């Protein structure tokens, strides 16, 4: 089974890039399942139903998310609708809207995509992602499990990889928007990448207008996140899993797209 996992999609320029590139990637790599982190789809923070629909029409089968899933309030009522393929981190406290994993059956294989949120440097109160993963693995022993670990600290991501080594097919990091060059597959068949990166404007600071972010660091004052216009980068990872619930291939993808001449701020 081939899985294309796309990094955090940041605003309209990134969405346009996804629409342009997915047909080409589907032709070249023939993925059986396309996943993307969608918590920054709309104006760089959160996701709207309109933008969700746009991206599913482009070919994305499931959206994972993270700490920004709540930033566009209009999406919250949709999170409990199982027809809406958006998951939020499973280790939020009980009673939070939505669900933290989704299951599929592809090519006769049962697959489970699990979303977890890290606890280091994120200023959130969450259940333990390590023990949360244990619970899901125990409940779904016959599934090939892929985890989007949305976390700040590389050490926390790598620790989860070592903790779950041999029990899941892959752990793919998101959140930092910077693609790392450390793809690996353990002897036990678990693939790992610290961060898949993003789809967003290259001349930015992790997808946002660089001037706004620099000013915030200089002055230590609140800032408004704006999505710039410009040449985009497209970061993703390609996974290949087998019937033994192991990964046998992990390949990072990194493309530059043409300048997007429409969209940008608050789109």
pLDDT of residue 243: 92
Contacts of 162 (CB under 8 A, 6+ apart): none
Residue 68 annotated among the catalytic residues of the structure: yes
For 182-203, write each residue's pLDDT tens digit: 999 999 999 999 999 999 999 9
Q: How far is CA 42 from the centre of its chain?
A: 14
pLDDT of residue 262: 39
Q: Please return the burial class of 77, using the count of CB atoms within 10 Å of its CB with bins 0-12, 13-18 and 19+.
A: exposed
Rounded to 5 degrees, φ, ψ at 254 are -150, 110
Candidate list 68, 150, 175, 177, residue with the active-site label = 68
Listed by start position, the domains of the chain span: 2-259
Q: Which CATH code for domain 2-259?
A: 3.60.21.10
For 135-184, write each residue's pLDDT tens digit: 999 999 999 999 999 999 999 999 999 999 999 999 999 999 999 999 99
List the chain residues with pLDDT less than 50.
259-266
**pTM: predicted TM-score of the whole model, two decimal places:** 0.94
């Amino acid at each position: 089974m081939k899985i294309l996992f796309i990094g955090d999609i940041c605003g309209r320029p990134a969405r346009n890039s996804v629409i342009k590139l997915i047909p080409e990637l589907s032709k070249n790599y023939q993925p059986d399942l396309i996943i993307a982190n969608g918590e920054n789809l709309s104006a760089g923070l959160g996701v709207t139903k309109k933008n969700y629909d746009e991206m599913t029409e482009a070919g994305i089968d499931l959206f994972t998310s993270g700490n920004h899933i709540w930033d566009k309030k209009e999406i919250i009522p949709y999170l409990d609708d199982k027809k809406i393929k958006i998951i939020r981190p499973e280790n939020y406290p009980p009673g939070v809207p939505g669900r933290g994993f989704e299951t599929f059956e592809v090519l006769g294989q049962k697959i489970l995509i699990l979303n977890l949120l890290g606890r280091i440097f994120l200023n959130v109160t969450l259940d333990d992602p390590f023990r949360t993963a244990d619970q899901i693995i125990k409940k779904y022993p016959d599934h090939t499990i892929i985890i989007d670990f949305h976390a700040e600290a590389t050490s926390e991501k790598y620790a989860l990889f070592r903790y779950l080594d041999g029990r899941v097919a892959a752990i793919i990091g998101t959140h930092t928007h910077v693609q790392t060059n450390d793809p690996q597959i353990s002897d036990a068949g678990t693939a790992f990448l610290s961060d898949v990166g993003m789809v967003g404007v290259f001349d930015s600071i992790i997808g946002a207008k660089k001037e706004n972010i620099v000013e915030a660091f200089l002055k230590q004052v609140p800032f408004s996140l704006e999505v710039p216009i410009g040449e985009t980068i497209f970061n993703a990872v390609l996974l290949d899993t087998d019937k033994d619930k192991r990964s046998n291939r992990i390949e990072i993808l990194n493309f530059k797209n043409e300048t997007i001449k429409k969209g940008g701020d608050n789109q």
